[in-house]
Amino acid sequence: MPEKKSALFLDRDGVLNVRKFQGYIQSVSEFTFLPRVKQALKLLQPRFDYLFIVTNQQGVAKGLMTRKDVEQIHAYMLQSLSDHGIHIQAVYVAYDLAEAQPNARKPNPTMGQWALRDFPDIDFLSSLMVGDTASDMRFGRALQMKCAWIRSGPPFDEQVSSELYDWQGESLFQLAQESPHILPNI
């Protein structure tokens, strides 16, 4: 039986890059990494076997941007991270409208199931979901992962029920620095 591996699942907007609160990141020119995200990922990367990004992008289904636009944003993001020695194994994107059925969007566990299909040795019990919304936390919980809630702050100051997360803080860098009990041992 193959050895099970840990994974770090990361939401995109509000965790890795500045969230556009009244819309969608529609082009590379609108994509800006949050402060110290690359440093945080350099600290976190050695603690996990895999790094994944899971992101809801219903702006495509709404006709505000194309899949190609999203792919260009992700190509830029991945290249920028790679230039800093950070390797993301895969980016999973749910393009569905929130009300679509069936629906791959978080909180549904579909993107996690896609990751497991592609990387069958993932052990969700030793994995971590980092996000800034209740749906991110519910996604992680549905897959039995530990969950870290990044509080994006106003105007996106959503209240997330404490049973949905194992750690909360202001940034990915804070999570990486504090090395809380929810991170795997190295």
Residue with tokens 């870290």: 148
Contact 166, 146 (CB under 8 A): yes
Contact 108, 139 (CB under 8 A): yes
Q: Can you list the positions of beta strands (E) in 26-104?
A: 50-56, 90-94
- CA angle 178-73-86, nearest 5°? 40
Q: Is 11 a catalytic residue?
A: yes
Q: Is 13 a catalytic residue?
A: yes
Report the alpha-carbon distance of residue 110 to residue 93 in Å, rounded. Answer: 10
Catalytically active residues, by annotation: 11, 13
